[in-house]
């Protein structure tokens, strides 16, 4: 397996991705993994290596402004722009491999799942399936509180929260352990804290809250195969799939697993097994359908 980092710029927006290329003679599957704003693509590392070792071409990407991307205050957090950037990354991967446009499994964690849903809306003919891992695709706060948080006063509150929980290392450690559902290795904790303590991060978090949870109703109507995985031990968003999400995605294959919010990092073996079976199932379903494939970009809104 070969690991390669890719730094790209789209209309001045600098982004970062990592490619895991298998040593096998042929590619069995192709998958994009999108991180949540509070994490980075390192969270996918073990899972990506496992899948690549069995013939899957894996691309891991951070959302603009987070992870290994520059924490620029101008980094967009709306899902339309996120989706276009992520498809742009896959275009560049295909060009670097001298390949025709191919179809991809799209996997998103947390709020990264909203970007994946929008990707499938824009390019259904390039999407083999979607996997939402502990998805946070819509705002989870009651309307009056959300209305305040996206106001100017709310911006100050987000900055105060960031200072209290992120910039204070002891409080950050407790928060991280709650998110992971277990203790976090010191090196990983320091890496996450450095990333989230960068200048402009509080402002970017405000932009995520303001723009990152706007998801078109049409995104729920796409019929591409969909699997939803949720952690029973998730102490941040609860140990059950939100009822509203289950109603919005009635046809999704749903799984509750014994993990917290960061299952890809804490339980990579388990997720590998789910994904291997899912890739085979959804690709078999794809082969049973006969439909013309549009060139990427022709089916955008």
pLDDT tens for the chain, 301 residues: list them. Answer: 999 999 999 999 999 999 999 998 889 999 999 999 999 999 999 999 999 999 999 999 999 999 999 999 999 999 999 999 999 999 999 999 999 889 999 999 999 999 999 999 999 999 999 999 999 987 654 455 666 666 777 788 899 999 999 999 999 999 999 999 999 999 999 999 999 999 999 999 999 988 888 888 999 999 999 999 999 999 999 999 999 899 999 999 999 999 999 999 999 999 999 999 999 999 986 665 444 444 555 444 3
**CB neighbourhood size of 80 (10 A):** 17
Residues 210, 220: contact at Cβ < 8 Å?
A: no
**CB neighbourhood size of 200 (10 A):** 15
Give the residues across from 7 on adjacent strands.
16
Could you give the count of Cα atoms lying within 13 Å of 180 in the half-sphere of its Cβ?
Answer: 18
**CB neighbourhood size of 159 (10 A):** 15
**DSSP-H helix ranges across 54-128:** 79-96, 112-122
Instruction: Give the CA angle between residues 225, 229, 235 to the nearest 5°.
Output: 155
Which CATH homologous superfamily contains domain 2-141+212-287?
Alpha/Beta hydrolase fold, catalytic domain (3.40.50.1820)
d(CA 83, CA 61): 12
Give the residues across from 131 on adjacent strands.
107, 227
Which residue in the block uniquely carries the two structure tokens 């209309």? 11
Does the pTM surpass 0.75? The reply is yes
């Amino acid at each position: 397996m070969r690991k390669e980092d890719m730094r790209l710029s789209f209309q001045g927006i600098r982004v970062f991705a990592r490619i895991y290329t298998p040593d096998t003679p042929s590619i069995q599957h192709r998958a994009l993994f999108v991180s949540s704003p509070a994490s980075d693509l390192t969270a996918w590392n073990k899972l990506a290596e496992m899948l690549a070792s069995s013939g899957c071409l894996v691309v891991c990407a951070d959302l603009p402004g987070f992870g290994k991307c520059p924490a620029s205050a101008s980094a967009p957090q709306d899902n339309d722009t996120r989706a276009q950037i992520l498809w742009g990354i896959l275009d560049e991967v295909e060009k670097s491999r001298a390949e025709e446009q191919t179809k991809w499994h799209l996997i998103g964690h947390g709020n990264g799942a909203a970007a994946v849903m929008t990707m499938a809306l824009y390019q259904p003919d390039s999407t083999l399936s979607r996997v939402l891992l502990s998805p946070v695709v819509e705002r989870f706060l009651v309307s009056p509180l959300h209305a305040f948080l996206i106001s100017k006063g709310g911006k100050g509150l987000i900055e105060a929260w960031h200072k209290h929980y992120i910039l204070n290392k002891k409080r950050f450690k407790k928060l991280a352990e709650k998110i992971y559902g277990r203790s976090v290795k010191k090196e990983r904790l320091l890496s996450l804290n450095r990333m989230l303590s960068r200048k402009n991060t509080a402002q970017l978090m405000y932009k995520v809250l303001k723009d990152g949870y706007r998801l078109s109703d049409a995104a729920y109507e796409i019929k591409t195969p969909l699997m939803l995985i949720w952690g029973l031990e998730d102490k941040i968003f609860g140990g059950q799939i939100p009822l509203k999400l289950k109603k919005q995605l009635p046809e999704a294959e749903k799984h509750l697993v014994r993990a917290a919010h960061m299952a890809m990092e804490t339980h990579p073996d388990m997720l590998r097994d789910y994904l291997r079976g899912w890739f085979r199932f959804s690709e078999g379903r794809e082969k049973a359908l006969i439909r013309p494939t549009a060139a990427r970009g022709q089916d955008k809104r």
